[in-house]
A and B are shown apart, each in its own frame.
Chain A
Amino acid sequence: MELIVIAVVGVLIFVRLSRRRGADPGALHGPVGWSVGTDWGVVMPLARADARFVLTHPAFVVGVVLTPLMLYWSTSTATDWREASTGTALALVPLGWFTIVATNLVAWRPRRTDSEELFAALPAPGPVRTAALLAAGAAPVIVAAVITAGWVSYLATKDDSPTGSPEWAEIAAGLAIVAGSVCVGVAVARWLPSPGFGVVAAVATIVIQARFLDVTTWPWDRGEGDPLRFLGFLADRASVEDSYLEIRPAAWHLLYLVGLVVLMAGVALARDGVRRQAAVLLAFASLTVVVAGWQQTRPASAAQEAEMVSYLTDPESHQLCEEWAGVSYCAYPGFVADIATWRKAVEPTLAMLPPPAVDRRAPLTVRQRPAIIVSNEDCVPVRFDGSLPPGVLERVSPAALWPVDGLVHPAFSEESFPCSEREVHGYFLAVQTSAWAVGLPPAPHGDNQRCTADGQARSVIALWAGAAAVPDGGRTLGDVVAEGSVGPSIVFAEWDDPPMWGVDYAVADAQLALTLLERPAAEVQAVLGRDWNHWIDPHTSTSELAEQFAIERSGTATASTCP
């Protein structure tokens, strides 16, 4: 379908251009182009005047008004500056679309206002007028820079500011896109014979980006980890959620964009003929695009890939560990600050369980590892390993990435409801912790494998303890039952970012846990503490647990695959 649309647009452009060329060339004295003695001193005063036209153009004003909203939308959930920086650049893209339209219409202004004949009799040559329009593009870029600087300042000073520090090369990519939009708008006005092509150009850039330069989409369908995606104007972050696992050549990408900007400027200037200045510009830009494009898309070195494989399969060698209240917390270097968040879920959960729950097990280790299924930028579930650089993916297996180790595993990002800002207060990590305490697998392993413990009292205890330990746990568990249930089990089939639970808990068991939450926690703790080993025995049924609390319920079939 896209090809048909593009083909139709191409034909229309061709027809329009053909008609233009169809005028009697013998009678034409072409436009005054490059000429000896051209006064380039006209460019800057003219650019200042043209800049006013661009800045006050309704299309650009709309873009400016939308930009803060886009910045909020694209960075409000960012927890680190890596995400916030790419989100900031992304937010400038719509401003770029509107800038294409605005600059295109400003370039067309003489004809649209019937003043073309008057302007034709004025001496400033075509390349000077084009250069002035291109130079006027500095104004939209400055406006975009000011808005961006304000937003970055806001993000840096707000209470829950992103961790890390701003990645300026990523942010500057957004400004380069605005600059490129100016050049596209001017080039299209210079080459195509109707102001309508400005809008076509804005749409075309979207199609080109979404359908051809983003290699994860049709027709390429390559992995997010494929560095070819950096040939796009703005490359999304891969869903690996850890900058260490992504080769992100931000500086090279910025240079690549700058090359494209200059290339489009050269294309605009070439309308008056490819003379020395335009030829030099086009050659320089082409070289920059090729070199920077090659640099950013070349595969990772074998050493880099080996280091990434080790990073994933031998986390002990890379993580930093801290011990708090007898629990060992291990995080990758960029995530050490998250340990404090993890503790807020783990420690109350352990405290909710009777002392034997902890005393009789080996010391707990909370070790960070990637989730098996992660949400990409568009809230679509993708496999984590599919987002790895191809060379790394070849060298790791699911079994090596997610071994059966019985540990609690927080992921790279805080788990939540699908693409939701709903706060769960660490409930999913809390259930992992309680699952560990009752002897159930805390986290999935291998190829997203989870077991079932339907009808086992310990599964109810795990769900109850996690919910009782964190704020609003009961409400969160209720929401999980409502949104994660497929048939009799909670399997999160519709979730784009399923929690790292090692068990597909039964809905009936979750409902019993919800009933238990209505009882005072002390009462439940007292019952469990009297015979902890009995309650966590895989053979102890949920019916027995219900009877203990005088809860009437129909029997639950046991169908356990958990060890």
Chain B
Amino acid sequence: MPVTGATVELSNVSKSYGSTRALDGISASFERGVTGLLGPNGAGKTSLLRIVATVLAPDAGTVRVLSEDPAEVRGRLSIRMRLGYFPQEPGCYANLTPFDFVDYVAILKHMTRRRARRDEVRRVLTQVGLEAEMHQRIKSLSGGMRRRVILAQALLGDPELLVLDEPASGLDPEQRMRFRETVSAVAEHHTVLLSTHQTDDVSALCQRVVVIDDGRILHDETPEALVERARGRVWLADAADPGAHVSWRTGTGQHRLIGDPPPGATLAEPALEDAYLLLIGGHGREPDSAAEDRGTGANRWS
């Protein structure tokens, strides 16, 4: 049941693309702090975030974001004024500099006072570590830097809700540390929804983790609680065990196995990744992800 006063409240939200059901009656609420969304490709994470970001309309269910109804024009406008959004496959104007691009987005965010806007643009570009590159053309920047440009625009105006769809892909370790710093700083006062495949990012950043698969929420609690579910189900052995859900050979030459251990197995300390793999059955499903991508088309709020 939705929690009153939450930043985002979803109740029985469903979304389909043709015969493919992307979301199947999801109910959840998200409050201040970082909530990580984990799930295999095509699980419904992106559809969920697009609905929260007001660019996609659900087929059924109710949505409230920042106490506004995105189905109404005024509500949608109000949400967008207070929202920072990092889409899954963000494009940008590659001929512009990061400064000019983020400045353009700032105008579209109703930041009309030139000096204040430019100060804000400098602030967010500095926050993502692009102070040295802010006047180079975007097309000359690396993929990781481009993603930081997109992250910078999402941070404009200190948004109350930050929706990030796989923002850390392509970032090098140093950039990821910086990314964690940035997101955790925002989350001190605001709500961050973070979709990612990087379980270590979730461990490092999130107060809460939601695992989605096949359009349904499989798990919704703290990362620590999720890890606890795997306790006693991760072990080390000299050889692979066909009974394990997942196993791989580690750098020490031993095998790390997840599943139901045999008697006398050497148990290992579980990690979030182990718990996640255990939860989704140890297989990374590759369903019709293209169907979810179709959400960029017709069924969109704009």
Contact = CB atoms under 8 A, between A and B. Distances in A.
Interface of A: 23-24, 27-29, 31-33, 35-37, 39, 41-42, 45-46, 49, 56, 109, 113-126, 129
Contacts of A56: 95
Given A27-B299, A28-B298, A45-B112, A121 B91 contact: no
Contacts of A32: 73, 76-77, 301-302
| 5 A-B pairs with least C-beta separation | A114-B91, A123-B80, A120-B302, A115-B91, A122-B108
Contacts of B300: 28, 117, 120
B91 to A, nearest CB: 3
18 contacts: A27-B59, A29-B76, A31-B302, A33-B73, A42-B107, A45-B114, A46-B107, A56-B95, A115-B90, A116-B296, A116-B302, A122-B105, A122-B108, A123-B77, A123-B80, A123-B108, A124-B108, A129-B108
A114 to B, nearest CB: 3
A517 B73 CA distance: 89
A473 B92 CA distance: 68
Interface stretch (B49-57, B240-248, B249-257, B261-269): B49-57
B77 A115 contact: no
A119 B108 contact: yes
Contacts of A46: 107-108
A121 B104 contact: no
A28 B57 contact: yes
A118 B298 contact: no
Interface string B39-66: 0000000000010011101010000000
Nearest to B105: A122
B74 A27 contact: no
Given A27-B298, A29-B71, A118-B105, 14 more contacts: A23-B297, A23-B298, A24-B299, A28-B300, A32-B77, A42-B112, A45-B114, A49-B104, A114-B89, A118-B85, A118-B90, A121-B83, A125-B77, A129-B108
A122 B83 CA distance: 8
Interface in B71-103: 71, 73-74, 76-77, 80-81, 83, 85, 87, 89-95, 100, 103
Contacts of A36: 74
A99 B53 CA distance: 35
Q: Which applies to chain A's interface (DSSP): helix, strand, loop or mixed?
A: loop
Q: Which applies to chain B's interface (DSSP): helix, strand, loop or mixed?
A: loop
Size class of the contact patch on chain B: 35 or more
Nearest to A111: B91
Contacts of A118: 85, 87, 90-92, 105, 150, 153
Of the listed residues A39, A118, A124, A126, the one surrounded by the most CB atoms of chain B closer than 10 A to its CB is A118
Contacts of B299: 24, 27-28
A123 B301 contact: no
Nearest to A121: B85
A120 B50 CA distance: 10
Contacts of A114: 89-91
Nearest to B70: A29
A56 B96 CA distance: 11
B152 to A, nearest CB: 12
Contacts of A31: 302
A49 B103 contact: yes
A71 to B, nearest CB: 30
Interface string B115-157: 0010000000000000000000000000000000010010000
A552 to B, nearest CB: 78
Contact of A39 (B54, B112, B298): B112
Contacts of B21: none
A29 B59 CA distance: 11
Contacts of B73: 32-33, 35
Contacts of A29: 57, 70-71, 76, 301
Given A118-B150, A120-B55, A24 B298 contact: yes
Of the listed residues A46, A123, A125, the one surrounded by the most CB atoms of chain B closer than 10 A to its CB is A123
A36 B85 CA distance: 24
B110 A121 contact: no
A113 B109 contact: no
B93 A121 contact: no
A27 B301 CA distance: 10
Contacts of A24: 298-299
A32 to B, nearest CB: 5
